[in-house]
């Protein structure tokens, strides 16, 4: 068995075309969806992510504003800037790129963003809405993972009812929100991490495995039940310096039924779901 690839690039292209169409409808009504991206400091990875987010907006009919501040920016000044963006009717989504410099409390900053503009889905109000199943903004990476599951079986989706999903990675950004989304689809969910005792026994029971640890080869072929769906959220570098995920891709693809590649899997979906959230914020305004 060789797993079918879940092509994040192709799915992103499809979803972005839908975003562009809906954005055009809004613009015809005099509303241009607007996203403000705030970066503090010179983190190289952040600079790449920010550029990609701004370009994605511009390519799909959204207005983007990039505000880049030095690492010495006082926390109070950043909070004041967020307050101004919250009050700006031309801005529908506010995103503060993480990580922030050590002197700035990231949680204080996230909670300062208006829940109506929290397109990253990190605000406690967004988390609460997800917890109780109310409408709200979903964190972009787990939201993208769910869209990938919905794309399977020629767009009919993967039926999660009664299935066992194992999420390796318990962070508030990916692991916990994704577990809640899977539970809402009536899956049985186990959250593990890289130090879970006898992780292999857990993953061998799983119909769906999501690896989101940030550690190479945390999931190998002998840990996967034949036919399982494997979603790789990891972003690492191999010994040759090439981008790779948390999954031993070449080995696992011989066992799994579906698998996401790295690159070209979850990565492009994360930015796409940011566009979707921003568009929805504009539609609600």
Q: Which fold has domain 139-266?
A: Rossmann fold (3.40.50)
Mean pLDDT of the chain: 95
For residue 250, the surrounding DSSP H or E stretch is helix 249-252
Output the CA torsion 6→11→13→18 (10° steps).
180
- Please report which confidence band the pLDDT of residue 57 belongs to, taking 50, 70 and 90 as the band edges: very high
Written out in words, the top-level CATH class of the domain with range 30-116 is alpha beta
- Indicate the domain borders of the chain: 30-116, 139-266
Decide if 160 contacts 170 (C-beta within 8 A): no
Cβ atoms of residues 209 and 215 within 8 Å: no
Q: Cβ(265)–Cβ(4) under 8 Å? A: no
Sheet holding 34-40, edge to edge: 63-69, 34-40, 93-96
Question: Up-side HSE of residue 191: CA atoms within 13 Å toward CB?
Answer: 14
110-165, pLDDT tens digit by residue?
999 999 999 999 999 999 999 998 889 999 999 999 999 999 998 899 999 999 99
Q: Identify the helix (H) or strand (E) that includes residue 232.
A: strand 229-232
The catalytic residues are: 53, 97, 120
| Mean pLDDT in residue range 209-221 | 95
Instruction: Quote the CA–CA distance of 33 and 91 in Å, as a whole number.
Output: 7
- Which tens digits make up the pLDDT trace of 70-97? 999 999 999 999 999 999 999 999 999 9
Give the 3-state secondary structure of residue 168.
strand
- Say what the pLDDT of residue 285 is: 86
Give the helix/strand (H/E) hosting 38: strand 34-40
Q: Do domains 30-116 and 139-266 have the same CATH topology?
A: yes
Exposed e or buried b per residue across 8-47, where buried means at least 16 C-beta atoms within 10 angstroms of its C-beta = beebbeebbeebbebbeebeeeebebbbbbbbbbebeebe
């Amino acid at each position: 068995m060789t797993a079918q690839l879940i092509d994040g690039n192709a799915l992103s292209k499809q979803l972005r075309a839908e975003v562009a169409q809906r954005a055009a409808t809004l613009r015809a009504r005099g509303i241009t969806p607007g996203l403000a991206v705030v970066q503090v400091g010179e983190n190289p990875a952040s600079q790449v992510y920010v550029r990609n987010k701004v370009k994605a907006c511009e390519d799909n009919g959204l207005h983007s504003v990039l505000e880049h501040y030095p690492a010495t920016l006082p926390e109070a000044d950043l909070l004041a800037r967020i307050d101004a963006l919250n009050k700006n009717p031309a801005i529908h989504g506010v995103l503060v790129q993480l990580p922030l410099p050590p002197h700035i409390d990231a949680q204080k900053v996230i909670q300062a963003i208006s829940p109506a503009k929290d397109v990253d889905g990190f605000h406690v109000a967004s988390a609460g809405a997800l917890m109780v199943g109310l409408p709200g903004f979903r964190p972009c990476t787990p939201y993208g993972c769910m869209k990938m599951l919905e794309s399977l079986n020629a767009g009919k989706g993967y039926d999660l009812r009664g299935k066992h999903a194992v999420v390796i990675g318990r962070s508030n950004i990916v692991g916990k929100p994704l577990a809640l989304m899977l539970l809402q689809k009536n899956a049985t969910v186990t959250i593990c991490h890289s130090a879970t005792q006898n992780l292999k026994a857990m993953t061998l029971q799983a119909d769906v495995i999501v690896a989101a640890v940030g550690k190479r080869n945390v999931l190998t072929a002998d840990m996967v039940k034949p036919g399982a769906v494997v979603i790789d959220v990891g972003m690492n570098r191999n010994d040759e310096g090439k981008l790779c995920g948390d999954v031993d891709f070449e080995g696992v693809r011989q066992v799994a039924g579906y698998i996401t590649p790295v690159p070209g899997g979850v990565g492009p979906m994360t930015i796409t779901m940011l566009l979707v959230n921003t568009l929805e914020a504009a539609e609600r305004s």
